Amino acid sequence: MAAGTTLTRHLIEEGGWRNDGAQDLRSLLEPIALAGKVLAREVDQAALAGKLGLAGDQNATGDMQKKLDVIGNDVVMDAFSSCSVVAGIASEELEEPVVMSTSDDARYLLCTDPLDGSSNTDVNAPLGTIFGILRRHRGGELSGEEFLQPGSELVCAGYVLYGTSTLLVYTVGAGVHGFTLDRGVGEFVLSHHDIRCPEAGKIYSANVGRHKEWGAGVRKYLDHVTEKDKPTGRPHSLRYTGALVADLHRCLLDGGMYLYPGDPGSPDGKLRLLYECAPLACVAEQAGGAASTGHGRLLDVVPGAVHQRTPIAIGSAENVALYERFMAEG
């Protein structure tokens, strides 16, 4: 792919995928790119525009909403308001999925966390947007049950990372590609062609302040990776930003693993399966990595509810496999 390739050009040259045409791909990803550009501006200007802090409400999963959470959801909804191929959107910020189009062309469903890591908004730390696209398998009136598909059914998935630069990463089942926003021309430009996650890494990302509440398998894994053993490159280094997108992106580029297991108070962990974990698991696998609940492939899990939570370990394949072994031994 030539240097300076824009996202739109890349989508045209990418061609059809899974029996859909390039036009469908553009119709799905160009609104994501638009939302990413708008949110990059909103995040950049939030402190000056009085948009930091709490909004005063809880979202659908019981988390306190930040002002940027609400803005992020509105931005994504607005970006898809004229997208005739998306029938409905399931969002972390919405109690129930929302109908977007009743057109006969509305063959897809969008699952999204509009602003991942919103606890970082007030401290100028990384944020993200997560998205996954599912295919509708029936026509007529939209039902929330249509969203309850395993991640293996995703036809497109990715994220936008708002950090030192704004980066859009996506997969349609044929590799993973990243595009950096060139603010000077207002375009996402190819910067990371065919991202490949190292088979193993020496980084782990986890909210270790909760480690005493975790099960024996998790604690034994952490004891192992933090032991000093020069021949195997241990101890591993802890890197944790509080934004899943940012921590996974580091793992994809440098190797390593992010984990968020369950605990007695939250046996299924904190993160949501449908619009956080499954899309990122799809990206990780397409980059040569892996994603697990700790006891099996995450993409095989069928959600029972739109806001279902799941434990997760995601990143380099060897790191995830080792984690599963410790979990099996308990």
Catalytic residues: 63, 69, 92-93, 113, 115-116, 276
Buried b (16+ CB within 10 A) or exposed e, 229-260: eeeeeeebeebbbbbbbbbbbbbbbebbbbbb
Residues 6+ apart with CB under 8 A from 276: 92, 113, 116, 130, 244
Q: How many CA atoms lie within 13 A of 48 on its CB side?
A: 5
CA 169 to chain centre: 10
Beta-carbon contacts of residue 285 (< 8 Å; ≥ 6 apart): 291, 299
Count the Cβ atoms, other than its own, within 10 Å of residue 140: 7
Q: Which residue has the tokens 């006891």?
A: 295
- Are the C-beta atoms of 236 and 251 separated by less than 8 Å? no
- Beta-carbon count within 10 A of 133 CB: 26
DSSP code per residue over 229-263: BGGGTBSPEE---S-HHHHHHHHHHH--EEEE--B
